[in-house]
Structure 1
Amino acid sequence: MSADELRGLLGEWAREAGVPGVSAGIFHEGEETLLAAGVSSVDTGTPVDDDTLFMIGSTSKTFAAAAVLVLVEDGVLELDQPVVEYLPELRLADPLATKTVTLRHLLTHSSGFLGDIEVDTGWGDDALARAVRQFDELPQVFPVGEVFSYCNAGFLLAGRVAEAVSGGSYEDLVRTRLLEPLGMTDSYFQPWDVLTRRHAVGHALREDGPAVAHTVGLVRADAPAGGLWSTARDQLKWARFQLTGAEILSDETRSLMHNAQRKGALPFEEVGLSWLRLSHGDAQLVRHGGNVSNLQLSEFVMAPSENLAVTVLTNSAGGGALGPRIVDWCLENLADLPKLDGRPSRAIDPGDCPGRYRTGSLIFEVTERDGALWAQMILDTDQPDILSAPPFEVVFVADDVLARASDTRRPSARFRRDDHGRVDAVEFGGRTALKLPGSNIG
């Protein structure tokens, strides 16, 4: 089957998901296919094309990791040296963490300090440095190296280390050592570069349909964790490099980025150096993706054994359904991977699983109502344009493991128990979130 056969489905699927505009790219066996549908803004009606800029969100972390590894190969950084050796002024809330946290911890989401933070330090060249100076306020939730919990703040610190060692801004480092050598000339960090070019705007999903959200959703200090704008065409250049290599990194180091470093947290099975790993049947997927305040969502998935990569860029929360649907189509129809079977639901007493679990500004809420379990990821923010995703029904597919009732193929959450058998945390969205005291919800 040809990737072009997806072209006729794209617009229909986008409408069903409430996505105003989508741009997708497929790299398979050396061939590239670009697809687009819809509009960049419902207010202007400007069509999306292959060169429309979208926010790729957390796929930006893979660029931060690559930038660090370029400097490792230069001999000016080491993955397992405490980062305080490169940033003597670093102060974390936990003195032991300050002394021991390494770049490997940061790039594998295992630093242990609070990861979901909002630090607006302006748009000057010192934004990242000023943000990291506030890290002594971040709670040390877990001991360094003990737990995988998706950590945006860790990538800000990794980016700051790379910036400090390189002697220029983080954005200039990525541009000169990664983007320009790979010919990714349509990828930008700064809004003033984006606004003068064709770009998508984020949309909030409301009852009467998608509406333009008059916010970007990120600040400059977020650049290493999620601040890159890019096109599907440029993302395929990143995919080609990841799958086939280029002179910017040795093949050994590139493989190190993909290889498992430690166990992950649901829905991720393992983590490499920034890249997240999960299986699709017998095939190993190496992936990332991004969600910028539920306004622009993306997918970036590689099946290295099949020489396949898929990127999907969208401009509403509906991309959370559309992106995986496109990826699954490609895995099943281009790579001939088997369609995943759903896991049977189990009638399990939820016991003390319902409740509220928090990590930073993210809350995972599990409630019982009308004989069913419902979950919701809530953004605790005072920005009215940024809406939480709607609640969804969940079912148990194993002891302490939940999946969406609408799609039980991949588990969504796993509860953690303390030494007394009580639920004290939950894995969701790659985070390990602690249960709020007194939050049992029946």
Structure 2
Amino acid sequence: MTSVTTTPFDDLSPVLQAAYRARAAAAELAPLPRAAKDDALLAIADALEVRTREIIEANAADIARAREAGTSDTVIDRLTLTPERIRVIASDVRDIVALPDPVGEVVRGSTLPNGLELRQLRVPLGVVGIIYEGRPNVTVDAAALCLKSGNAVLLRGSSSAYTSNTALVRVLRDAVHGAGLPADAIQLVPGESRESVTELMRARGMVDVLIPRGGAGLIKTVVEQSTVPVIETGTGNCHVYVDERADLDLAVDILVNAKAQRPSVCNAAETVLVHREVADEFLPKALAALRDAGVTVHGDEAWLKAGAAAGVEVVPATPEDWETEYLSYDIAAAVVDSLDAAVGHIRLWSSGHTEAILTTDTRAARRFVAMVDAAAVMVNASTRFTDGSEFGFGAEIGISTQKLHARGPMGLPELTSTKYVVTGDGHIR
């Protein structure tokens, strides 16, 4: 009599079927050597360049719909793919090939007094779900990072980029399959409705972790509604504190860079706090530099007075300004009486992303670092440096603002878990 193994596969929804296939693919990926994964990544990079026209044609359909819907030029720019942008994306994939493979790394090991050999090894997380907004480049970045770290990935981008993401995932799957790896290691979550997102968030036991990438609203929804474990990324209400012993000219340069070099990203500064002892000298310099950079200051009474004296318009700050992640050419500004007052303000309003102190006083810097609770703390450096590439990690899947599993820029090691391998010689307890 032949036994038949049955599965609930046929009874599952399309989203759960995709998760089921991803689990099977993850099991195949886990033991693969680095060379096999790197060959697949090189195949992906080549395929992106060879099939650029196909990708751009799909992207054009998304852009046309976005324009018809009255979408802002900023959002359309994030959505747009060009031959040059695709070449950059392909180059980024090749950069991932050059990174060390974290899988199999011995985190720690020892021989126990009883002779057992103990090793803690890095292993893939398994099935990683990524929920993100209208940036098609994230589709490739996330797929490549998950593949390199031995994970299968379920990609759920926004409906605004659905045609682009469909084309990109088709190219990625073909390349992976051609390299001898399971195509289901990379899948686009079926459907454009919110119900498909909800199903992904409730797929506990089939999806090992979810990583949301996008604005505060998206992240909040995933964190609060998901039953799948979530790595919270993103929101950056970042502060720059100018201490009483700061080099003020240097501080102006750092402040302008932190705010205006690229204001639409999570590591851009959103609030500047200035010690009262240097406010009279610093505020006029900062106001002029921020004005020249196109930045609107939302200031307290001290900043309003300084703006009036300098002929620079300052918007009166409201309580909402202290909690706002502008992602624009706006910054909240206040004068504080002490370092501890600055820390108190930061601890009240910070999102735990990146905080900076500008000072020549090493004791003040040490106190600030010790008291501020954030994924990254900068001393005399721009908040814009909180980035996987800038930290030397290579590419990143996101910047975690939580404290469990991973915190800060998440590179390849953060896409792994660990397991203990214990080797004995007939040992019994």
**One fold, TM greater than 0.5?**
no
Q: TM-score, normalised by structure 2?
A: 0.30
- Structure number with the higher strand fraction is 1
Q: TM-score, normalised by structure 1?
A: 0.29
Between structure 1 and structure 2, the one with the greater Rg is 2
- Structure number with the higher helix fraction is 2
